[in-house]
Structure 1
Amino acid sequence: MVVEVEGFFGVYLLYCTNPKYKGRIYIGFTVNPERRIQQHNGGKQKGGAWKTSGRGPWDMVLIVHGFPSDIAALRFEWAWQHPHVSRRLTHVPRKTKKQSSFDFHLLVLYHMLRVAPWSRLPLTLRWLRQEYQQQLPPLLQPPLHMPLAYGQVRAKPIAKTPGEGGPPLQSIALPCRVCYETLQSKEDALRCFHPGCTLIAHILCLAKLFLRNEPDHLIPVEGPCPSCGHSVLWGDLIRYKKGCYGDLEEQAQTHWVDELHG
Structure 2
Amino acid sequence: MASTVSSRPIPALYTVYILRSTMRHASLYIGSTPDPPRRLKQHNGAIKGGAARTARASLRPWEMVGLVSGFPGPVAALKFEWALTNPHLSLHIPAESRLSVARQTKKNGHPRRPPASMQSILANLHLLLRVPSFARWPLRLHMFVPEVHAAWNKWVASQAVSEEGVPTTEPVEVLTDFKPSATDSIFGADEAELGPAWGIHALPLDYGPMRDYVDKAQDIFTFEREGDCAVCHTALPAGQGLYAVCPNAGCEAVGHLRCWSDHLLQGEAAHDHDHNPEDAHLVPKRGHCPDCGGPIVWADMMKELTLRMRAPKEVEKIVKAKRRQEKAADKAAAEADKAASKAAVAAAAAAEDLPSSIEFVPSSAVPKTKGAKTTKTATKTAKATKAKAKEAEKATKITQTTRVTKAASVTLPKATKTAKTTTKAAKAVAATAVGDASTVLLDRAESPEVIVI
TM-score (norm 2): 0.46
The one of 91, 97, 100 aligned to 1:94: 100
2:138 is equivalent to residue 127 of structure 1: no
The answer (yes or no) to whether the contact 2:130–2:171 under 8 Å persists in 1 is no
Cα distance, 1:57–1:85 mapped onto 2, change above 3 Å: same
Once residues 237 and 146 of structure 2 are traced to their aligned partners in structure 1, the CA distance between those partners, rounded to angstroms, is: 47
Q: Deviations over 1:52-87 (max 9, x none)?
A: 222433221101112233332222222212223332
Q: Post-superposition shift, 1:40? A: 0.4
Q: Post-superposition shift, 1:148? A: 1.3
After the TM superposition, which of the residue ranges 95-104 and 83-92 deviates more from structure 2?
95-104
Cα distance, 1:100–1:26 mapped onto 2, change above 3 Å: closer
Cα distance, 1:68–1:144 mapped onto 2, change above 3 Å: same
The one of 257, 281, 287 aligned to 1:203: 257
Q: Which has the higher strand share?
A: 1
The one of 62, 65, 70 aligned to 1:61: 65
SS at match of 2:53: coil
Of the two structures, which has the highest relative contact order with CA contacts closer than 8 Å and spacing of 6 or more?
1
Aligned to 1:178: 231
SS at match of 1:89: coil
Q: Post-superposition shift, 1:204? A: 3.0
Q: Deviations over 1:124-156 (max 9, x none)?
A: 211122222302323369955732111203333
Q: Post-superposition shift, 1:169? A: 2.2
Q: Post-superposition shift, 1:191? A: 0.9
Cα distance, 1:88–1:181 mapped onto 2, change above 3 Å: farther
2:51 is equivalent to residue 49 of structure 1: yes
- The within-5 A match list for 1:179-194 is 179=232, 180=234, 182=236, 185=239, 188-194=242-248
The answer (yes or no) to whether the contact 2:34–2:205 under 8 Å persists in 1 is no
SS at match of 2:40: helix
Q: Residue type of the partner of 2:215? A: E
Structure having the higher Rg: 2
Q: Post-superposition shift, 1:12? A: 0.2
Q: Deviations over 1:106-135 (max 9, x none)?
A: 111000111223212222211122222302
Aligned to 1:83: 87
Aligned to 1:136: 155
Cα distance, 1:15–1:78 mapped onto 2, change above 3 Å: same
SS at match of 1:12: strand
2:242 is equivalent to residue 238 of structure 1: no
Once residues 176 and 168 of structure 2 are traced to their aligned partners in structure 1, the CA distance between those partners, rounded to angstroms, is: 15
Q: Post-superposition shift, 1:10? A: 1.0
Once residues 90 and 63 of structure 2 are traced to their aligned partners in structure 1, the CA distance between those partners, rounded to angstroms, is: 27
**Which runs of no fewer than 5 residues in structure 1 stay unpaired?**
1-5, 247-262
Aligned to 1:219: 283
Cα distance, 1:14–1:230 mapped onto 2, change above 3 Å: same
The one of 94, 108, 122 aligned to 2:124: 108
The answer (yes or no) to whether the contact 1:33–1:155 under 8 Å persists in 2 is no
Q: Deviations over 1:88-110 (max 9, x none)?
A: 21222225889743221211100
The answer (yes or no) to whether the contact 1:17–1:23 under 8 Å persists in 2 is no
2:31 is equivalent to residue 28 of structure 1: yes
Provide the identity percentage: 29
Q: Residue type of the partner of 2:35? A: N
Aligned to 1:169: 221
Once residues 237 and 125 of structure 2 are traced to their aligned partners in structure 1, the CA distance between those partners, rounded to angstroms, is: 40
Aligned to 1:10: 15
Once residues 78 and 96 of structure 1 are traced to their aligned partners in structure 2, the CA distance between those partners, rounded to angstroms, is: 16
Q: Post-superposition shift, 1:225? A: 0.6
TM-score (norm 1): 0.76
**Which runs of no fewer than 5 residues in structure 2 stay unpaired?**
1-10, 104-113, 161-166, 178-198, 270-274, 311-453
SS at match of 2:44: helix
Cα distance, 1:185–1:23 mapped onto 2, change above 3 Å: farther
Aligned to 1:155: 204
Cα distance, 1:72–1:142 mapped onto 2, change above 3 Å: farther
Once residues 115 and 80 of structure 2 are traced to their aligned partners in structure 1, the CA distance between those partners, rounded to angstroms, is: 22
Cα distance, 1:224–1:116 mapped onto 2, change above 3 Å: same
Q: Residue type of the partner of 1:93? A: L
